[in-house]
Amino acid sequence: MEYVSPEGLRIDGRRPMEMRKLQAEIGVVAKADGSAVFEMGNTKVIAAVYGPREVQNRSQQLNDQALVRCEYSMANFSTGDRMRKPKGDRRSTEISLVIRQTMEACILTQLMPRSQIDIYVQVLQADGGTRSACINAATLALADAGIPMRDFVTSCSAGYLNSTPLLG
């Protein structure tokens, strides 16, 4: 199957180094301290941030920095076939870990000791690149929540097919 046509166009008409259409919106979840919806093409992800707030589990409290927790889950309806277990499976655990470590590196946790920052990311539509969309959404949600960060953390996925690098 020709993924990149001889004219240099991909299946959806993009060039190899062209990203999909990006759309974002913040303040979508009223109850959360910060929230954002991020869309990359057909991949749609919603992130909500709660914090800094008191640590719920005292044993996990860190005295010199904030505790960052992250939960990644995919909605049952996000993929073509209904998903059996949206969270708790190994892939979700790993992606939660990856997002948490990424955001933890950029949040100025030293400014908020003995507190907890929760990032919840939910995939509404999965069309590839959910991990990147989640990190972008998390950045926006954290900014919306007013949590001090070193800088924006952005992410993009890329692939390599038939010796051609493809973006997005």
Partner 1 sequence: MEQRLANTWRMTVNEKKFIESALVSGLRVDGRNLYDYRKLSINFGKEDGSAEVHLGQTRVMGIATSQLVQPYRDRPNEGTLSIFTEFSPMADPSFEPGRPGEFAVELGRVIDRGLRESRAVDTESLCVLAGKLVWAIRIDLHILDNGGNLVDAANVAALAALSTFRRPECSLGGENGQEVIVHPPEAREPLPLIIHHLPIAVTFAFFSDESTLVVDPTHQEEAVMAGRMTATLNTNGDICAIQKAGGEGVPQSVIMHCLRIAATKAADITVKIRDTVEAYNTERALQKIKRHSAPVALDVSGTVPNVRKNQVKSEDQREVSGSVGTQVEKLKPMNERKNSDQSNDIEETSKFSKKQKESQSKKSTQQASPKGSAEEMKAISPATESAKIASQTHGEKTLKDAVKPKHKRKKKAPSAVDGS
Report, in Å, the least distance between residue 21 CB and partner 1.
Answer: 28
Of the pair 18, 94, the CB lying nearest partner 1 is at: 94
Q: Write the interaction track for partner 1 spanning residues 83-102; mark x where CB under 8 A is met and - where it is not.
A: -------xx-xx-xxx-xxx
Indicate which single residue of 60, 76, 110, 164 sits in contact with partner 1 (rule: CB under 8 A): 60
Q: What is the DSSP string of 53-116?
A: EE-SSGGG--SSS-EEEEEEEE-TTSSSSPPS-SSSSHHHHHHHHHHHHHHHHHB-GGGSTTEE
Q: State which of positions 98-137 bind partner 1 (CB under 8 A).
A: 98, 100-105
Report, in Å, the least distance between residue 98 CB and partner 1.
Answer: 4
Q: How far apart are CA 92 and CA 96, in angstroms?
A: 6
Report, in Å, the least distance between residue 102 CB and partner 1.
Answer: 5
Of the pair 92, 125, the CB lying nearest partner 1 is at: 92
Q: What is the DSSP string of 12-49?
A: TS--TTPPPPEEEEE---SSSSEEEEEEETTEEEEEEE
Of the pair 104, 127, the CB lying nearest partner 1 is at: 104
Q: How far apart are CA 48 and CA 34, in angstroms?
A: 6
Of the pair 29, 112, the CB lying nearest partner 1 is at: 112
Output the CA angle 131-71-140, nearest 5 degrees: 60
Interface residue list for partner 1 (CB under 8 A):
59-60, 62, 67, 90-91, 93-94, 96-98, 100-105
